[in-house]
Each structure stands twice: as structure tokens, then as C-alpha cells.
């Protein structure tokens, strides 16, 4: 008898379906777990989630593209979010962003070539009186200048 080994990703999704329930309402929780483990939701995972929840793959894809924290391609290991809201904007956020893009060789909305960083804009980080502000993963930096922002990123391991 031919025994076909089950794909590890399929097994992972099966166990998530078992944990959260074989129901459309489990979709977001399952996607969140896959994103956490794989830093993105691969095409194959999308197909398998759809199959196991008995929903259309397009539905899975639309949920992924709707939420900013879910993505179909892996992002850089460190998430850099620069506040784009008006106070930081008026305090020099553009110059900071340009310096960051120059230093990392990528634009906002992209990962650096070495996949160390992913750049994105954020809404107010709650430190408007100390702008421009930027978060690198969970840590927030304030009163940025272009030089200071570059120095901070160079210090990230
Ligand atoms: S406007 Fe940038 S932190 Fe509030």
C-alpha cells in the first residue's frame, strides 16, 4: 500500500481547525496563527484552510488582504512603523522617512533586501508632542531626526 506523507503545513492547519472549530468563524484565528508562525500566509496554506473550512479560497484571500497584519508574502524580520499623522508630519517625518529609505535601500511598504526590516506607515502612535515618532517592533522612539532614525536602525540586531 502506498503511504503518502501528509504535508506539515496541512497537519498544522488541521490541528488549528480542530482547536478553533471547523467553522467559517474560525478563519481569522487560524490565519492569525499561521501568520505568527510563518510571518505570512503561503498560497498552499490559503488553499488548505479553504478546503478544511469548506469555504472558497477567494474568501480566505479577501480576509488576508483586508487586514493589515496579515500578508501573503513574508515581511522583513523587524517591523519599522513611522507615524504619518499630521503632527509628526509637520515635525519632519518626511525627512526621516527619506533617510530610512536611503539607508535600507527600500521604500515604505517593502522589505529591505536582506529581509531584516519591513517599512510601513502608521497612524498616530500617541506621542504627538514628541514627534516625529517611530516604532521598531514593540519599542517606540521619539524626537527623531534623519540621523537619529538611521542610527537606531543600525543598532537593531
Ligand atoms: S501624530 Fe505622530 S505620534 Fe501622534
> In CATH, what number is assigned to the domain containing residue 122?
3.40.30.10
Residue 59's CB is within 10 A of a number of other CB atoms, namely: 15
Q: What backbone torsions phi and psi does residue 107 show, to the nearest 5 degrees?
A: -95, 165
Domain for residue 3, yes or no?
no
Pairwise CA distance, residues 39 & 156, whole Å:
19
Backbone angles phi, psi at 28, to 5 degrees: -65, -40
Within 10 angstroms of residue 131's Cβ, the number of other Cβ atoms is: 24
Of 82, 84, 85, 96, the residue with max ligand 1 atoms within 8 A of its CB, to mutate for a pocket test, comes to 85
Rounded to 5 degrees, φ, ψ at 138 are -90, -10
- Write the pLDDT tens digit of every residue in 1-21: 455 557 899 999 999 999 999
To test ligand 1's pocket by mutation, which of 122, 125, 143, 149 has the most ligand atoms within 8 angstroms of CB?
A: 125
State pTM to two decimals. 0.69
Q: Coil, helix or strand for 19? A: helix
Atom of ligand 1 nearest to the CA of 127: 3
Give the tens place of pLDDT for each residue, 48-86.
999 999 999 999 999 999 887 888 988 889 999 999 999
127 lines ligand 1 (CB under 6 A): yes
User: Could you tell me if the CB of 125 is within 6 A of ligand 1?
Assistant: yes
| Residues of the domain holding 14 | 8-66
| Residue 90 covered by a domain | yes
Bridge partners of 119? 80
10 close to ligand 1 (CB < 6 Angstrom): no
**Interatomic CA distance for residues 124 and 79, integer angstroms:** 16
Amino acid at each position: 500500500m502506498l503511504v503518502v506523507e501528509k504535508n506539515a503545513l496541512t497537519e498544522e492547519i488541521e490541528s488549528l481547525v480542530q482547536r478553533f472549530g471547523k467553522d467559517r468563524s474560525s478563519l481569522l484565528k487560524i490565519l492569525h496563527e499561521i501568520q505568527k508562525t510563518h510571518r505570512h500566509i503561503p498560497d498552499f496554506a490559503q488553499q488548505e484552510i479553504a478546503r478544511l473550512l469548506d469555504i472558497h479560497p477567494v474568501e480566505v484571500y479577501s480576509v488576508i488582504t483586508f487586514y493589515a497584519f496579515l500578508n501573503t508574502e513574508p515581511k522583513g524580520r523587524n517591523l519599522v512603523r513611522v507615524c504619518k499623522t499630521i503632527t509628526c508630519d509637520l515635525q519632519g517625518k518626511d525627512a526621516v522617512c527619506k533617510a530610512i529609505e536611503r539607508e535600507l535601500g527600500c521604500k515604505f511598504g517593502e522589505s529591505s533586501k536582506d529581509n531584516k526590516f519591513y517599512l510601513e506607515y502608521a497612524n498616530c502612535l500617541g506621542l504627538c508632542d514628541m514627534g516625529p515618532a517611530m516604532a521598531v517592533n514593540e519599542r517606540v522612539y521619539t524626537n527623531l531626526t534623519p540621523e537619529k532614525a538611521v542610527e537606531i536602525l543600525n543598532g537593531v540586531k
